[in-house]
Chains A and B, each alone.
Chain A
Amino acid sequence: MISIQHVSKTFSPVGHRGADATAVHALNDINLEIADGDIFGIIGMSGAGKSTLVRTINLLERPTEGRVVVDGQDVTQLAGADLRAYRRRVAMIFQNFGLLAQKTVLANVCFPFLAAAGKVTEADRERALGLLERVGLKEKANAYPSQLSGGQQQRVAIARALACDPEVILCDEATSALDPKSTNTILKLLRDINRETHVTLVVITHSMDVVEKICKNVAVLENGRVVEQGPVERVFEAPSAQATRVLLGRVDWDA
């Protein structure tokens, strides 16, 4: 269970200290509960604060105010080795895949083992090959990311995310750089992995299509605030916020 409690994030402009008129309030008093095993969508327009919000969950961004509580533990207090150990429980995949271009596919999938133990054992490599098989890319183990298509690169990133046996996978616009076919492949893979392992998925997207296909619950973000949240069917059936209707395409586009 991930509990985001009164989280706010303010970016001060470089060279200025403290809050002033030019500070950017990226997140404003966000409250969300994400259950174990859920596929939770966070949707909003560009600049709504989606990426900042998801980054507060694994502390790539530290909230200015509020807490992120995971399984009863306030993770915003973590630092050093404790923080690194926590981050291994929360994997992440990215819009542009975030693969190491100078390392092979296998070495990329083994990176979490290297990060955790300082070395990669033969057993780790076996496990990584198993994960590559799971995402259908075992024969590409010795290729470099540049030799793969975008969809294949994202599958490698998913294999890397699974290497830590995570409880949560954060997906930051994971299909936004992909064509519709690759998008479907990635979404099916994520949904199947969620069913097999009960890993919690937090899916950041600006596409209602993605939410409709795989999410169970959804929160709509606008200008750093949650304007609507609930089960996907309910939100799609009766959207209450204007932002949701715009995202659903239920407003006159030419207005």
Chain B
Amino acid sequence: MPDIAAFIDQFGALLAQGTVDTLIMVFLSTGIAYVFGILLGVILHLTAPGGLRPAPVVNAVLGWIVNIGRSLPFIILLVAIMPVTMLVAHATTGVQGVVFPLVVATAPFVARMVEQSLAEVPREVVEATEACGASVPRIVFSALLPEALPSIVRGVAVTLIAVLGYTAIAGAVGAGGLGDIAIRYGYYRYEDQVMIVTVVLLVILVQVIQSVCNLIARKVDHR
């Protein structure tokens, strides 16, 4: 029977700090990624063929950029853009160094999620707002985004959990957080207990994120 008090004494502070670092990385980068992702998603939706402002060239170019962002495995992207990360964040390791690559990796993902949520708004509903003489910005802010909100919130859960996975990967190159601890202690030093606890913490985080987002999605959905 392992001594729990001794374990907490030895690793408690480390694991607490790791959890806080992970939460900061996940929520900060997801938040920033949504600012760019919603903008990109709305533009992709509006400029698509049959959209409210069809623009094939803009749509194709943005689509390529988003696809390139999505086609790189995160670990490759993280290493490939390190010089840019250095310029933007003045660091390539720790929480400070990983938020920028996380945003770069997540924004295109968010763009596609938002684009899909907007596409789910029934065509007739959008036509009804057009027929009322609403301008395109009015349709976007007063009809499309509010109607897509429950779907967007569900997308937030998917994104947060994907980013949680990315932060664990980033742990391999010294990003800090639970993934970092799992690799340094659990993998290199054979501290099995630390490995198990980090895995349990990650599972709990995923469950909590999903449950809270489901709750919010139900609260805001009036269908």
Task: Spell out A's residues near B (CB within 8 Å).
Answer: 14, 58, 60, 84-88, 90-92, 94-103, 111-112, 114-116, 118, 144, 146, 157, 160, 164, 170
Contacts and interface: CB of A to CB of B under 8 A. Distances in A.
Given A96-B124, A101-B222, A111 B147 contact: no
Interface residues of B, number: 24
Nearest to A143: B222
Interface of B: 49, 122, 124-125, 127-135, 138, 142-143, 146-147, 149-150, 220-223
Contacts of A95: 124
B138 A118 contact: yes
A14 B134 CA distance: 27
Given A87-B131, A111-B142, A115-B132, 8 more contacts: A84-B135, A94-B127, A102-B146, A114-B138, A114-B142, A115-B133, A115-B135, A170-B131
Contacts of A160: 128, 132
A67 B128 CA distance: 23
10 contacts: A92-B127, A94-B124, A96-B124, A97-B124, A102-B223, A103-B146, A112-B132, A115-B135, A116-B133, A164-B133
Contacts of B122: 96, 98
Contacts of A87: 130-133
A42 B24 CA distance: 61
B137 to A, nearest CB: 10
Interface centre among B133, B138, B143, B222 (most CB of A within 10 A): B133
A144 B131 contact: no
Pairs A-B, 9 closest by C-beta atoms: A98-B128, A115-B134, A87-B133, A92-B131, A84-B133, A88-B133, A144-B222, A98-B124, A112-B132
A93 to B, nearest CB: 8
Nearest to A81: B135
A103 B143 CA distance: 9
Nearest to B127: A60
Nearest to B222: A144
Contacts of B131: 58, 60, 87, 90-92, 170
Contacts of A112: 132-133
B127 to A, nearest CB: 6
A79 B135 CA distance: 11
A112 B128 CA distance: 10
A151 B128 CA distance: 17
A90 B128 CA distance: 11
Given A96-B122, A118-B138, A60 B146 contact: no
